[in-house]
């Protein structure tokens, strides 16, 4: 499976901690990430992460292209709803694509736990 991982600045630490808590499962999958998030996850977990540009520089759109080409199975996007994002249109487009292509999208730790538990329990098998 292929997972996309993204986090706004105020949520990067929470995403890294979440991945560390579920390292066994994340290590089984191909990981794609926006720039800074990918660097933090790779550095702090030792996982191999394919990094795109940072979100404001087009990384969200690059991941959106993967979604549109059916190359992503789930998205873990820890969003910060309390801080205005200069690239909000890109974020909205990615959220829309996840709905269009029926890709599970976890935008907070609660939904991320539901999605990762699904994969830990074998997914559709």
The tens digit of pLDDT for each residue in 106-119 reads 999 999 999 999 99
Say which of 24, 60, 90, 99 is annotated catalytic: 60
Mean pLDDT, the chain, rounded, equals 93
Helices (H), the chain: 12-21, 23-26, 35-45, 59-68, 88-100, 109-120
Is 24 catalytic? The answer is no
Give the pLDDT of residue 124. Answer: 65
DSSP string, 29-42: SEEEE-HHHHHHHH
* 50 carries a ligand binding annotation: no
pLDDT at 89: 77
Distance CA 8, CA 80 (A): 6
* Cβ atoms 58, 89 nearer than 8 A: no
Going from N- to C-terminal start, the domains of the chain cover 2-120
Determine the pLDDT at residue 122.
Answer: 87
pTM of the model: 0.93
CATH architecture label of 2-120:
3-Layer(aba) Sandwich (3.40)
């Amino acid at each position: 499976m292929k997972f996309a991982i993204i986090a706004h600045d105020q949520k990067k630490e929470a995403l890294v901690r979440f991945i560390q808590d579920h390292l066994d499962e994340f290590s089984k999958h191909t990981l794609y990430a926006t720039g800074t998030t990918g660097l933090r996850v790779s550095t702090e977990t030792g996982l191999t992460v394919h990094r795109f540009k940072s979100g404001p520089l087009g990384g969200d759109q690059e991941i959106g292209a993967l979604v549109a080409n059916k190359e992503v199975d789930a998205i873990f996007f820890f969003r910060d709803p309390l801080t205005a994002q200069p690239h909000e249109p890109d974020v909205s487009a990615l959220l829309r694509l996840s709905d269009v292509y029926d890709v599970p999208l976890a935008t907070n730790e609660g939904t991320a736990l539901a999605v990762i538990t699904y994969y830990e329990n074998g997914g559709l098998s």
